[in-house]
Chains A and B, each alone.
Chain A
């Protein structure tokens, strides 16, 4: 089978973001989506630290320490962009004003529970940032992650073993193997990568999957 690499997952997510959408990209893997937004669509990126209209990375030498994204990387502002304070920024998030947020994950459960902030390790220093607000606040929560852990276990699970970020909050999962919708009646496979059979995907995932009639 042809597993997608990180950029290809990002490009696949980006394809589903419609013109005019307000979108928050979580730190880490989801920031790659910004590089793959389809040309010709006007998509307005939100950054939790108080920016709407986040533009591309600045050219070397043009970085501004007062203009950074949630991952604390330098960014730019598009014409039409705006700055605002943190309470307004999270009001936009919690108040259901964002059309999409795209988050990384350690695990997603069959009912859409999300675990992405804490490995639960006794020695791990916890850090949550804006993940719990995004999980409950965005109209659609999209997760992008590798389908399997490094040791080959499915990150889509019956029940999350890591501490939850939010319960029943994920709408769609994009992995290097498949695109899967989380519906009230279970997980629906929308797409699979070339060369992967539904049976093989089901075996790797280990939780019940439904096959959408149109899935390849």
Chain B
């Protein structure tokens, strides 16, 4: 039962007792799934604007209290909830994103102008590929994106064939907070529409991917041909009931 919640020592003991615990990645609540988040963690947060934003997990992270965080997300918060609320609570030291400035990014804007948050601006495709590279064990890659622009300043470049490329490194994370539609206890995931966005690659790039889903199902219910994120990339799953979503 507690394969992933226990320390390595406890897991070994269980195996020695000739008892192989059932793989069960389901956690009772967002708070339980994020209880061990340390200060200074690097946390990827899925979502593109509010589509795929794991709002309840972010609320739990705010309540949990970890600070000095490095956050990876496409944006820098919208409105007053979710990532914007985490920023407002001053838990974030640095953010890596492609598109911080939006009509409703006032919490980020204020922190940035006050010099209270570090920004690493990354072109969106480079952000996605750096995340993918981390999950796929790639040490670095050359991309044509941003060559000759100020976002490539100081970076190694190389001419390959008739094109110029910029060397980019992977982005690893301690945690990924993701929203999916449906999961089983092995952590297999399917997503909903364009809320998929960064979910699959962030799950692969983080040491501990924590997923909130609308529904959990028995093993075998998800069509193996249609599983988008295989459970190997997922460590923890929390079901967030629609009523909870409304209340948040």
Of the residues A87, A126, A129, contact of B129 by C-beta under 8 Å: A87
A39 to B49, CA, bound (A): 32
Interface: B99 (CB within 8 A): yes
Residues from chain B with Cβ under 8 Å of A55 in the complex: none
Stretch at the interface among A9-17, A65-73, A183-191, A199-207: A65-73
Would A48 and B124 be within 8 Å (CB), given that A68-B51, A86-B198 are in contact? yes
Pair B123/A50 contact, Cβ less than 8 Å: no
Stretch at the interface among B6-14, B81-89, B140-148: B140-148
Pair A127/B143 contact, Cβ less than 8 Å: no
Residue on B with the closest CB to A133?
A: B125
How far apart are A142's CB and chain B's nearest CB, in angstroms? 19
Of the residues B102, B121, B128, contact of A87 by C-beta under 8 Å: B128
Would A163 and B150 be within 8 Å (CB), given that A66-B51, A128-B123 are in contact? yes
Interface flags for B83-111 (1: CB within 8 Å of A; 0: not) read 00000000000000011111001001100
Interface: B246 (CB within 8 A): no
Chain A interfacial residues counted at CB < 8 A:
41
A66 to B46, CA, bound (A): 13
Interface: A38 (CB within 8 A): no
Pair A87/B131 contact, Cβ less than 8 Å: yes
Would A132 and B197 be within 8 Å (CB), given that A87-B131, A90-B129, A123-B113 are in contact? no
Interface: A164 (CB within 8 A): yes
Residues from chain B with Cβ under 8 Å of A132 in the complex: 123, 125-126, 145-146, 149, 151
Interface: B196 (CB within 8 A): yes
Interface flags for A49-78 (1: CB within 8 Å of B; 0: not) read 111000000000000111110001000010
Most central of A67, A77, A90, A124 by chain B CB within 10 Å:
A90
How far apart are B43's CB and chain A's nearest CB, in angstroms? 17
Main secondary structure of the interface of A (DSSP, over half): loop
Pair A136/B98 contact, Cβ less than 8 Å: no
Pair B197/A50 contact, Cβ less than 8 Å: yes
Interface: B199 (CB within 8 A): yes
Interface: B200 (CB within 8 A): yes
Stretch at the interface among B20-28, B186-194, B217-225: B186-194
How far apart are B192's CB and chain A's nearest CB, in angstroms? 5
Interface: A107 (CB within 8 A): no
Pair A163/B149 contact, Cβ less than 8 Å: yes
Interface: B77 (CB within 8 A): no
A66 to B196, CA, bound (A): 9
Pair A50/B194 contact, Cβ less than 8 Å: yes
Interface: B52 (CB within 8 A): yes
Of the residues A67, A85, A133, A166, contact of B193 by C-beta under 8 Å: A67
Residues from chain A with Cβ under 8 Å of B74 in the complex: 86
A84 to B112, CA, bound (A): 32
- Interface residues of chain A, those whose CB is within 8 Å of chain B, are 47-51, 64-68, 72, 77, 83-87, 89-91, 93-94, 118, 123-133, 136-137, 163-167
* 5 residue pairs, one from A and one from B, having the closest CB atoms: A90-B125, A133-B125, A167-B148, A127-B101, A86-B128
Q: List 9 A-B contacts (CB under 8 A).
A: A65-B51, A65-B195, A85-B197, A86-B48, A86-B131, A125-B108, A128-B124, A133-B123, A137-B125
